[in-house]
Amino acid sequence: MTNERRVLVHPDKASLASSVSARFITKMLDILDAQSIAHVVLTGGTMGSAVLESIAASPAKTTIDWSRVHFWWGDERWVPAGHEDRNDEQARVALLDQLELPESNVHRFPASDAGLSLDDAAEAYAAELARHGVDGLPHPLFDITFLGVGPDGHIASLFPHRSGIQVVDRAVIPVRNSPKPPPERLSLTRPVINSSQRIWLVLAGADKASALGLALAGASRDEVPVAGIKGRRRTVFFVDADAAAEVPESLIAPDY
């Protein structure tokens, strides 16, 4: 198995979400057939939620033993627990509440009303990651990590021309003065994301085309953070036709 980047293009957002959700269910069955526990990193945003809603709507979701799946997040907005802007709240509404899932399997970032400072919250999530670490890693071995990509090429809360994308000595960082509101956030770092077995980036819309094209053309990760993202086994960009406008034809795969 190679770890090359590939791009799968779908006609529109609806078919994109449906395809990714079907592949996720199929892959989770394969993973859980080979190992006892699976770790999945979720993302927020329009397409992140659309994929989770599609999983929830699929009758095939009942074929998965969700008690063996642990959910994490790539980043989170520093707002109170239950706030509609939180990625974990969006995931709860879209999918998690519909699964037979132990609460201990859902690893949320601390919220702004948890009585912690932003720095302490980053340390607390790093400690939670470390409690599930394997093979000497200070974090789980993630089986699938979902990421969205911003029009500026940011992933998680690692933004262009900011120091976050360069951090390699921590698992989690506090983010202040984010160029995208809210200004305070928490984020996994690039080495943790890249330790994932599979990274699935899901993006749609013409406003994402430039960032995707630059990333695949070898742009600097400091200028286009998604350019610095690559999973251990496989990195797949699931995109709609609009987002694929600047992708080299040679990188577009009919399937895998």
256 within a domain of the structure (yes/no): no
Edge to edge, what strands does the sheet with 198-203 contain?
Answer: 5-10, 234-240, 198-203, 144-147, 38-42, 69-73
Residue 256 has pLDDT above 60, yes or no: no
Residue 1 has pLDDT above 50, yes or no: no
Residue 177 has pLDDT above 90, yes or no: yes
Query: Which pLDDT tens digit goes with each residue over 73-98?
Result: 999 999 999 999 999 999 999 999 99
Q: What is the pLDDT of residue 254?
A: 73
Stronger pLDDT, 103 or 249, i.e. the higher one: 103
How far is Cα 25 from Cα 28, in angstroms, rounded to an integer?
5
Q: What separation, in Å, do the N-terminal and C-terminal C-alpha atoms of the chain show?
A: 11
Of the candidates 64, 208, 195, 202, the one whose C-alpha atom is nearest the C-alpha of residue 146 is 202
118 within a domain of the structure (yes/no): yes
- Domain holding 213, by residue range, is 5-251
18-46: average pLDDT: 97
Q: What is the pLDDT of residue 5?
A: 82
Q: What is the pLDDT of residue 248?
A: 82
**CB neighbours (10 Å) of residue 184?**
17
The count of domains in the chain is: 1
How far is Cα 238 from Cα 79, in angstroms, rounded to an integer?
29
C-alpha angle 204-178-188 in degrees, rounded to nearest 5: 75
Q: Kindly report the length of the chain.
A: 256
166-192: average pLDDT: 97
How far is Cα 246 from Cα 252, in angstroms, rounded to an integer?
11
How far is Cα 252 from Cα 71, in angstroms, rounded to an integer?
30
Q: Give the chain's mean pLDDT.
A: 95
Residue 3 has pLDDT above 70, yes or no: no
- CATH for 138: 3.40.50.1360
97 within a domain of the structure (yes/no): yes
